Amino acid sequence: MSADQRPPHALTRRDALRLCLVPVGAATAGWLVACASDPSSPTGEPEPSEPDESPRDKDAGKVSSATPDAAKPKPGSPAAADAATGGSQTPSVDAGAQVVDSADARVATSDASVASDAAAADVPWASGGTKSMQGNYPDPFATGGAGAACALYPALTLGPCYSSGPAARPDISDGMTGLPVRLSFLVVRADGCTPVPSAEVDLWHTGSNGVYSAFASGICNPDKLDVVSMRFCRGTQVTDAKGRVDFSTIYPGWYTGRSIHIHFTVRVAGKEYITSQLFFDDALTEEILLQPDYKARGKRDTTNKTDNVLRGTTVSNFVMASAKRHDGALHAWKVLSLKS
């Protein structure tokens, strides 16, 4: 049967083959649109050749914004709205995704979120602290809320370097130099994965030099700097109506015996619900420590795998998902799930 004799919308053998070759985990909407193109169409676009690797495979080894914490949601789980300090609208999914089921639609949305900041791969890491941040970052929780991360977040030790910080503030860096970091958290109840509004998130970590503010010489201040009156890299904020909160800070430095980490406590109505720690991927840390603000301190002596605080735990439960953004800043995020 010639092309002129085929009835409208007839499915040819070649069309069926195109649909069957859509790869699992790829940006489904984009593939379907590509497969719908025909050399004989008015657009004149050539038929796409089958790629050697999926968009995610091309980025293997780079810091990825795909994360278990942005996994497929449970029914009724919250999708966090954009924060005033840095979110952007949820990337739209091409109309081609309408032919796939809801699970594939979520995959397509996730890939769109990755693609929205894909240009960052060729951008050098930023330096100089939070003043170099441009904001307008993708919302890491927009593709389904908390999902599988609604399991109770595990507790870890408070540590010896806690000190009450200053009043609530979105930027806790106090102008310190280092790689700028946006930290985004979604606070939910482990039972039902419902958002927790008005939860206080108390955060503290070292500066790029591996020193905690507010302490004299000792384990919290190995460089013996005069930082007793300072409160850099400490602060609190309260979650919005959808459980979202964002901090601007710098990448922490290392000190002997610990992998690079961030401490936090979450309180609701003055009651402490969880005290624990957050970690970065080891490969990411190795890359960051080669940057000018960190390189002079030399090689760290402890990784996530060798940190005694993490011994006997599932390390991945504490590691934040992360991505380099268009301005060279690091964006890291985690779902913090509380007891009901």
Which domains are seen in the chain, by residue range?
Answer: 109-338 (2.60.130.10)
Binned at pLDDT 50, 70 and 90, residue 192 comes out as confident
Binned at pLDDT 50, 70 and 90, residue 144 comes out as low
d(CA 328, CA 323): 10
Specify which residues 245 forms β-bridges with: 185
Indicate if the pLDDT at residue 20 is higher than 70. no
For residue range 146-165, list pLDDT tens digits in order: 555 688 999 999 999 999 86
**How confident is the prediction for the chain on average, in pLDDT?**
74
Indicate if the pLDDT at residue 299 is higher than 80. yes
pTM equals 0.67
For residue range 68-102, list pLDDT tens digits in order: 443 444 444 433 333 333 433 333 333 322 222 22
The crossing angle, in degrees rounded to 10, of helices 13-20 and 28-36 is 160
Higher pLDDT, 112 or 23: 23
Indicate if the pLDDT at residue 189 is higher than 60. yes
Binned at pLDDT 50, 70 and 90, residue 250 comes out as very high
